[in-house]
């Protein structure tokens, strides 16, 4: 299987050389590295032109492009993916370090499992200096044993409908998935969208071993951090109702998309999305008076909506105590 690594950059010259070295040190070399720079203001693009020579010298094709204006990371990844030619596409962030066996390990899974459409892995969290933070990505995301077992048993859609666990920097998928996900909707982050659509139409799995060092620093577009119960009340300053309306918009987009190839997507999946939509609408309709929300909260809890489509007791607490 031919392999393309798809790398998007923006003002990333600080760590880019370390990442590039880790790509070239893979035990199974990539066939192609596709890079699209999102109109960086620093020396990123100039550095990329120098790094390209080292890859070409090893027989790796390099496609290097630069946007005339900043598109944002989701649109930039969509454009970069369109440039890739490999049968298996690996997403790549500019500031991470890949473990030497990442490509070989993940390709082995795709080779053994012809129905596997998308695969993601755990990661080791490191600080901006590359020092181990003594925390894995799955641990930071509070991934449970039950969630992992459901994914391994073929029920990834149920898990991902509740919340996304597939982080783009750890993700690989078959090229055929691109035809199903384009265009990327603005309501969704690219890795979430790839994972949920892949789970709707095919097999998705995860590897519980870290295959990259996932660097955490102040400039992350989307990082990972351990969140306690209090984290349920921190939505980047977003009011509760606005947050829920955003989830409703995302879920409506998903419902419309999975209705299109109805003959290929189980009716149970469509029903589950409709049920989640009803749950979110019920939550968004709760009054601003916190005590007055209690009957509706108890009703949704009794129906199981919080456990199936949200973070359980954490989401209950968010609705009970969060502002409107």
Q: What is the mean pLDDT of each run of 10 residues along the chain (324 residues)?
A: 97 95 98 97 96 96 95 93 97 97 98 97 95 95 97 98 97 96 94 97 97 82 42 56 96 91 80 97 96 96 97 95 88
pLDDT of residue 264: 78
Helix (H) or strand (E) holding 173: strand 172-174
Cis amide linkage into residue 12, ω under 30° from 0: no
Given CA atoms 202, 208, 210, 211 in this order, what sign does their dihedral have? negative
Does the pTM surpass 0.95? The reply is: no
**CA dist., res. 26 & res. 19, Å (int):** 11
CATH 3.90.550.10 spans which residues of the chain? 3-215
List CB contacts of 236: < 8 A, sequence separation 6 or more. none
Q: Check residue 173 and give left, alpha or beta (phi > 0: left; psi -120 to 50: alpha).
A: beta
**Residue count (the chain):** 324
Answer yes or no: are the C-beta atoms of 19 and 90 closer than 8 Å.
no
pLDDT of residue 226: 39
pLDDT of residue 323: 85
List CB contacts of 124: < 8 A, sequence separation 6 or more. 132, 136, 137, 210, 212, 213, 214
Superfamily of domain 3-215: Spore Coat Polysaccharide Biosynthesis Protein SpsA; Chain A (3.90.550.10)
Residue 34 to residues 73, 78, 97, 98: CA-CA distances in angstroms?
15, 12, 17, 16
Answer yes or no: are the C-beta atoms of 3 and 87 closer than 8 Å.
yes
């Amino acid at each position: 299987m031919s392999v393309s690594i798809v790398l998007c950059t923006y003002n990333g010259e600080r760590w880019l050389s370390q990442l590039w070295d880790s790509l070239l040190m893979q035990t199974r070399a990539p066939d192609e590295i596709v890079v699209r720079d999102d109109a960086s203001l620093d020396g990123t693009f100039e550095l990329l032109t120098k790094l390209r020579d080292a890859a070409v010298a090893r027989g790796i094709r390099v496609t290097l492009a630069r946007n005339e204006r900043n598109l944002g990371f989701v649109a930039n990844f969509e454009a970069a993916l369109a440039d890739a030619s490999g049968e298996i596409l690996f997403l790549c962030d500019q500031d991470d370090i890949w473990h030497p066996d990442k490509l070989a390990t993940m390709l082995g899974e795709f080779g053994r499992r012809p129905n596997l459409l998308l695969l993601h892995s755990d990661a080791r969290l490191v600080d901006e200096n590359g020092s181990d933070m003594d925390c894995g990505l799955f641990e930071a995301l509070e991934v449970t044993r039950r969630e992992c077992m459901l994914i391994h048993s073929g029920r990834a859609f149920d898990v991902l409908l509740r919340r996304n666990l597939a982080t783009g920097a750890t993700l690989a998928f078959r090229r055929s998935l691109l035809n199903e996900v384009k265009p990327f909707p603005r309501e969704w982050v690219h890795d979430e969208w790839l994972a949920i659509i892949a789970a709707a139409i095919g097999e998705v799995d995860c590897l519980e071993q870290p295959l990259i060092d996932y660097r955490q620093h102040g400039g992350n577009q989307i990082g990972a951090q351990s969140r306690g119960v209090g984290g349920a009340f921190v939505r980047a300053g977003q009011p509760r109702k606005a947050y829920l309306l955003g989830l409703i918009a995302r879920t409506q987009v998903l419902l419309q998309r999975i209705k299109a190839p109805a003959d290929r997507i189980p009716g149970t999946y469509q029903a589950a999305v409709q049920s989640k939509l009803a749950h979110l609408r019920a939550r968004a309709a709760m009054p601003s008076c916190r005590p007055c929300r209690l009957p509706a909260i108890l009703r949704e809890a009794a129906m199981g909506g919080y456990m199936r489509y949200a973070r359980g007791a954490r989401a209950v607490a968010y609705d009970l105590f969060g502002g409107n």
